Amino acid sequence: MEKTRNEKAWFLVLPVLVLVAFSAVIPLMTVVNYSVQDTFGNNVFFWAGLEWFKETLASERILNALGRQAFFTAVILAIEVPLGILVALSMPKRGVWASVCLVLMALPLLIPWNVVGTIWQIFGRVDIGLLGHTLAAMGIEYNYTQNALDAWVTIIVMDVWHWTSLVALLAYAGLQSIPEAYYQAAKIDQASRWKVFRYIELPKMSGVLTIAILLRFMDSFKIYTEPFVVTGGGPGNSTTLLSIDLVKMALGQFDLGPAAAFSIIYFLIILLVSWVFFTVMTNLDKKEGK
Amino acid sequence: MAQITLKNLAHSYLAAPTGDDDYALKELNHVWKDGEAYALLGPSGCGKSTLLNIISGLLVPSQGRILFGDDDVTEKSTADRNIAQVFQFPVVYDTMTVRDNLAFPLRNRGADADYVTRRVEEIAHMIDMEAELDRKARGLTADAKQKISLGRGMVREDVNAILFDEPLTVIDPHMKWELRTQLKELHNRFGHTMIYVTHDQTEALTFADKVVVMYDGRVVQMGTPEELFETPAHTFVGYFIGSPGMNLLDAKIDGATAYVDGTEIPLGASYGQPQGRVQIGIRPEFVTLSADEGVPVKVRRIEDVGRHRIIRADFFGTQINIIAHEGVSVSPEMTRVVFEPSKVNVYADDWRVEPAALGRAA
């Protein structure tokens, strides 16, 4: 068959190019531009080369924030993924209650980030918060503004509350795609509940779980608003995650060059880890197919 | 192994069934003899899969009992019934190797490792998958996956019965023959009770010793393929089995003569005077076109299907089919048909009427 050639087709691609240029390429390039220059104000810039990158990589402050960030992400992944699967497994498969559950599960996802932060900020307050006050009344000392451990527990529980639904909903979708015959066959083969999970449900969920883990990794690694609203990065620097530190540097101290270098490294870390995650997980899939 | 008895069994998917129509499976009594191969034949939605799932314990019947031998298993779980079932679509455990798939039912029941190895080899040989034993099941073709499912169904030697729910639907036609023949062979060798659900009459007739025909939630006839062909107990069986199905004509019966629109048709036996909606049924194989004998018809068209020709004709406003075998000549002067009297069946309200006296009444 003869292929139709029409050079005007390029115009159809143009809007996307313009959109991507303004939303991603130009801002990113601006950051790259800042990251290799220094300024003393008055819009006068000097070439700084890789100076800021070296400084960023050697900065104890940033490395500490990176450590906290990695810890935070690891903890919430370790909680949210198994918990999400567990929730999905215990949700009804059909009927009115399935819909009710779905709506309830989706609710936390619909709340804006800073509202989530505010909810938990008030919820945890010792003077007026339901949680903080109740704990205090029970004689448990809890104060997220002064105790680093309390602050950590608060932001982790908050994130679990906010995002476990996402994992649960994705896992639920995976479970729904399993034909009834699989469960029937498992019954006839006398498979235990654990084996049904291990050999039927988990393999069928692996695709959506890859997506879930990837999304949760990226999102939690970039998290800013909620912990910022609750703890502001404190007490001290104990909950200063990467984004919070970055904003402090860029807007608080107005160190544009170092902050730009920091952003680029931050971005590259997320990109790299996501890529590794994705490749490893899809390769595991392929290997099994052999 | 055991004889399976169904007592007053009925099932409805509704919580509070009211009329007959609410039942997917209407009340039935049936005995599946130990070691026989049965086919459960019927159109989609006739209740055959429901019946199968009740026997295997995946469904609990609304009423009635199921006995395995003398043991009432109605309330027992699928696992306790010790039954194997193969489903319409292949069910394999993707992340396991073919070997582990086949061994799964045995291992779950705590079988001895040596025995498992030996038995898996045997089954792999039977389904011709020895070469793929150490491959992951994921990525195999639908054919291969279904063969694994069949293999998993047959791996246990001590099962009470093996149930097949249209297992060859997804298999290529040439493989179908092969697998069906293998199943038959297995049945002869091991003597398991097998119940094979299908809507394909060829499959049913070639696989089974006894074919159970279901229609609208009822068992309408159980018999050997020959019985189903020669003496269908219900007009549905006549229509459903055979290609094309039985010709059915509204008639009036008086003794050994049927009257269709006033035309006399001799019968092979006396049927008295049956009441209700009376029909005579004759298979296209036993109708012959003739130039000078019999009753007049209008031939509409002739289809040559290779082995024989199917003649579609108009008989007092009802379409009838006639099969003319290769070598029988058909000419335009042949405008009459002869019904072989001994092959004519009489039906009253869809059910076959037993002849009162054998031989032609004088």
Q: Give which of B162, B161, B132 is closest to B144, Cα–Cα.
A: B132
B170 touches chain A (CB under 8 A): no
Inform me whether the pLDDT recorded for B174 exceeds 60. Answer: yes
User: So what's the pLDDT on residue A166?
Assistant: 94
Contact B81, B42 (CB under 8 A): no
| Tens-place pLDDT, residues B189-238 | 888 888 999 888 888 888 888 899 988 888 888 888 888 888 899 999 88
For B4-230, CATH number out of 2.30.30.830, 3.40.50.300, 3.40.50.970, 3.30.160.20 equals 3.40.50.300
User: Would you say residue A253 lies in a domain?
Assistant: yes
Query: How large is the ipTM?
Result: 0.74
Q: What is the CATH number of the domain that holds A193?
A: 1.10.3720.10
Span of A22-31, A118-127, B15-24, B85-94 with lowest mean pLDDT: B15-24
CATH topology assigned to domain B245-352? OB fold (Dihydrolipoamide Acetyltransferase, E2P) (2.40.50)
Chain B nearest CA to A90, separation (Å): 21
Provide the pLDDT for residue B361.
42
Quote the percentage of chain B above a pLDDT of 90: 2
- For residue B333, the Cα-to-chain-centroid distance in whole angstroms is 40
pTM of the model: 0.75
Residue B36: strand, helix, or coil:
coil
Residue B111 banded pLDDT, cuts 50, 70, 90: confident
Region(s) of chain B under CATH 3.40.50.300: 4-230
- pLDDT per residue over B26-72, tens digit each? 888 888 888 888 988 888 888 888 888 888 888 888 888 888 888 88
CB pairs under 8 A between A and B: 63
The segment(s) of chain B belonging to CATH 2.40.50.140 are 245-352
Looking at residue A276, its amino acid is V
Tell me the Ramachandran region of residue B261: left when phi exceeds 0, alpha when psi lies from -120 to 50, beta otherwise: left
pLDDT attached to residue A1: 62
CA A94 to chain CA centroid, nearest Å: 30
Amino acid B243: pLDDT: 81
Residue A283 inside a domain? The answer is yes
Q: What span, in angstroms and rounded, lies between the C-alpha atoms of B27 and B11?
A: 8
User: Which contacts of B92-95 are long-range, i.e. CB under 8 A and separated by 24 or more positions?
Assistant: B92/B137, B92/B140, B92/B145, B92/B148, B92/B149, B93/A199, B93/A200, B93/A203, B93/B137, B94/A203, B94/A204, B94/A288, B94/B136, B94/B137, B94/B138, B95/A199, B95/A203, B95/A288, B95/B136, B95/B137, B95/B138
User: How many independent structural domains does chain A possess?
Assistant: 1
Q: How far apart are CA A205 and CA A277, in angstroms?
A: 16
Cα of first residue to Cα of last residue in chain A, in angstroms, is 37
Asked, as a colleague might, if the bond just before A235 is cis with ω within 30 of 0, I would say: yes
Ordered DSSP codes for B101-160: HHHHHHHHTT--HHHHHHHHHHHHHHTT-GGGTTSBSTT--HHHHHHHHHHHHHS-TT-S
**Mean pLDDT in runs of 10 for chain A (290 residues)?**
80 91 89 83 77 83 89 94 94 88 90 89 87 86 85 91 94 91 88 90 88 90 87 82 85 82 89 88 62
Residue A187 lies in a domain: yes
Read off the pLDDT band of B358 (50, 70, 90): low
A91 lies in some domain: yes
C-alpha dist (Å) from residue A183 to A268, B102, B152, B153, B303:
43, 17, 15, 15, 47
- What are the tokens at B233? 């107990």
User: If pLDDT is split at 50, 70 and 90, which confidence band does B74 have?
Assistant: confident
Q: Give the structural domain span for A283.
A: 59-289
A11 domain residue, yes or no: no
Those residues whose C-beta lies under 8 Å from the C-beta of residue A129, and which sit 6 or more positions away, are: A122, A123
Residue A218's identity, in one-letter code, is M
- Residue B362 — very low, low, confident or very high, per pLDDT cuts 50/70/90? very low
How far apart, in whole angstroms, are the C-alpha atoms of residue B235 and residue B221?
A: 10
Identify whether A164 is part of a domain: yes
Contacts of B57 in chain A (CB under 8 A): 187
Within-domain flag for A52: no
* Partner residue facing B95 (CB), from A185, A188, A288: A288
C-alpha A275/C-alpha B185 separation (Å) is: 53
For residues B323 and B287, what is the distance between their CA atoms, to the nearest angstrom?
Answer: 7
Set of chain A residues whose Cβ sits within 8 Å of the Cβ of B138: 203, 288-289
B21 falls in which pLDDT band (50, 70, 90)? Answer: confident
Residue B313's beta-bridge partner residues? B299, B320
- Which residues from chain A sit within 8 angstroms of residue B135, using beta carbons? 290
- Interatomic CA distance for residues B234 and B250, integer angstroms: 15
Q: Among B50, B52, B54, B58, which would you mutate to test the A interface (most chain A Cβ atoms within 10 Å of its Cβ)? A: B58
B262 touching chain A per CB within 8 A:
no
Task: Decide if A189 touches B, using CB distance below 8 A.
Answer: yes
Helical spans, DSSP H, in A232-255: 242-247
Chain B residues whose beta carbon lies within 8 Å of the beta carbon of residue A290: 135-136, 139
Residue A22 lies in a domain: no
Cβ-based contacts of A192 with chain B (< 8 Å): 108
Mutate which: A183, A189, A285, vs B, most B CBs within 10 A? A189
DSSP at A4: P
At residue A70, the pLDDT reads 92
| CA–CA distance, A119 with B231 (Å, rounded to integer) | 78
Tokens linked to B220: 């309408």
Joined together, the tokens standing for residue B13 give 């998917």
Q: What percent of chain B has pLDDT over 70?
A: 98
Chain-chain contact of A181 with B89 (C-beta, under 8 angstroms): yes
d(CA A74, CA A227): 16
Find chain B residues with C-beta within 8 A of A174's C-beta.
Answer: none
From A86, A62, A238, A82, select the one nearest A155 (Cα to Cα): A238
